[in-house]
Structure 1
Amino acid sequence: MDTDRFADAPPVELPSHRAIENLIARYYELLDTGDFAGLSDLVADASVTLDSGPPLDGRDAVERLVHDTLVLYDDGTPRTRHVASNLVVEVDEAAGSAQSSSYVTVFQALPDFPLQVVASGRCRDRFERRDAGWRFTERWIRTDLLGDVSHHLRGPAG
């Protein structure tokens, strides 16, 4: 198949709801692959709140939280897979704003720790359309169910 024939094609703009779904998926991909600088850039314009903690604003606060909270392994990752489900996206095209709700389920596996769900929760997000596309403006994450997070989180919960 000749894929070069598409090289000069103009980029296709995704429908807003799909672009927002991609942002949410990208968030978890960056987290699971250990790209915490990329994750911090993705939410640089957002206020991120975990459970009942104070809002985290800006790249440095988010990156610091990740490094202070997660157990990282030799490959630089937390050895997790975050799966978003039950995603509902509501877009106000005229206002250039959107909101979403979803569930997140966190799986983890290590050589001495069999694959299992270690946490599950809910997310509420707000987005704004800017010149470069859709951006997170708020991310609220609530943990509802905890399994064995001893290999995932530092501190009292881990």
Structure 2
Amino acid sequence: MDDVAACTNVLFEIAEAMDAAAYDTLESLLEHAALIDGASGSVLAKGGAAAVAHFRSIVKVHPDGTWRTKHVTTNPIVAANDDEATIRSMYTVFQQTETLPMQAIIAGRYHDTLRRIDGTWRLVERRYFADLIGDLSNHLTFDL
């Protein structure tokens, strides 16, 4: 697999783990990552354990054990060299719950930096930008 595909797959693996509320997988995928609010520059979490603690504190888990979401990551623009890559992409989060019909609840952008660590591409920084905000009442524990 070439570097662009490998880096893009990291984004998709993170989305898949979030939708499943697979916290062990998320902790591993985000082991080297800093999660940053793109608008304010505030560091939300640094490292896998802190990222999982952050998600557990702000995201509602539903009776089926998931977030009842689908994080769709699109339009990746990848610039990669031997050991570092940047990816600008868009995300749309869909959600359906017992009380919420399926709909897009938020859309925005990720600005990601990945590094090759021990031969594997790893996320080291993710900046979140929320551009369009819908009904997050079944997703987050606070108002955005």
**How high is the TM-score relative to the length of structure 1?**
0.85
Partner deviation per Cα, 1:39-59 (whole Å, 9 max, x = no partner)? 121011111113423242112
Checking the alignment, whether the CA contact within 8 Å between 2:35 and 2:126 is kept in structure 1 is yes
1:37 Cα deviation after fit = 2.0
Structure 1 residue 111, shift from structure 2 partner: 2.6
Aligned: 1:38 with 2:25: yes
Aligned residues: 142
In 1: Cα distance, 2:49 partner to 2:33 partner? 12
Report the alpha carbon displacement of residue 116 of structure 1 after superposing the two structures with TM: 0.3
Whether 1:109 aligns to 2:96 is yes
Equivalent position amino acid for 1:39 in 2: L
Letter in 2 for 1:37: D
In the TM superposition, what whole-angstrom CA distance separates every residue of 1:62-115 from its partner, at most 9, and x where no partner exists?
Answer: 01111110011112111000001111111112xx11110000000001132111
1:59 correspondence with 2:48? yes
Distance 1:55 1:123, change over 3 A: same
How far 1:151 moved relative to its partner?
A: 0.5
What CA distance in whole angstroms lies between the structure 1 residues aligned with 2:138 and 2:96? 9
SS at the partner of 1:117?
A: strand
Question: Is residue 2:70 matched to residue 1:81?
Answer: yes
Which residue is equivalent to 2:10? Answer: 23
Structure 2: which amino acid aligns with 1:46? A
Max Rg structure: 1
Code of the aligned partner of 2:61: L
CA RMSD, 1 decimal: 1.2
Equivalent pair of 2:19/2:68 in contact (CA under 8 Å): yes
TM (norm. structure 2) is 0.93
Runs of 5+ unmatched residues, structure 2: none
CA contact (8 A) 2:136 2:143 kept: no
CA separation of 1:38/1:15 partners in 2, compared to 1, >3 Å: closer, same or farther?
same
Name the CA distance, whole Å, in 1 between partners of 2:86 and 2:143: 32
Higher normalized contact order (CA 8 Å, seq sep 6+, divided by chain length):
2
2:135 to 148, 152, 157: 148
3-state SS of 1:45 partner:
coil
